Amino acid sequence: MSTKSSLKSAKKTAKNEIESVLIKELNNVTAKFGPGSKKFKKSIEKSSKRLAKKLSKEIKIDESFFANESITDESKPNKDNAK
C-alpha cells in the first residue's frame, strides 16, 4: 500500500472516529436535559459529520509512521522479477 493511500485511509479513520465520539457525547449531554426529538438527533448527526470533516482536514499525520510499511513492502519479492 502506498504512503499516499495510507495517509488517506488514516484521515478517513480519524474522521469516522471523531464523528462517532461527537455524536455519542452530544447525545449523552442532551439526554440529561430530557428526551430529544428525531429532528434534533438528526441535526446532531449532521452537524457532527460536518465538524468531523473540518477537523480531520486539519489533522497532520506523520508520514514516518508509514515509512516502516513501505520498507517491508519493497523487500517482498515481485512476481515479475521471480521469473
Q: Please list the rounded mean pLDDT of every run of 10 residues in the chain (83 residues).
A: 78 92 94 88 94 90 66 52 48
22's CB contacts (< 8 A; 6+ apart) are: 48, 51, 52
Residue 82: inside a domain, yes or no? Answer: no
pTM surpassing 0.85?
no
- Give pLDDT, residue 83: 44
- Give pLDDT, residue 15: 92
Q: Look up the domain containing 16 and give its range.
A: 3-74
| Nearest by Cα to 44 from 33, 54, 55, 30 | 30
Q: How many domains does the chain have?
A: 1
Residue 80: inside a domain, yes or no? Answer: no
57's CB contacts (< 8 A; 6+ apart) are: 11
67's CB contacts (< 8 A; 6+ apart) are: 3
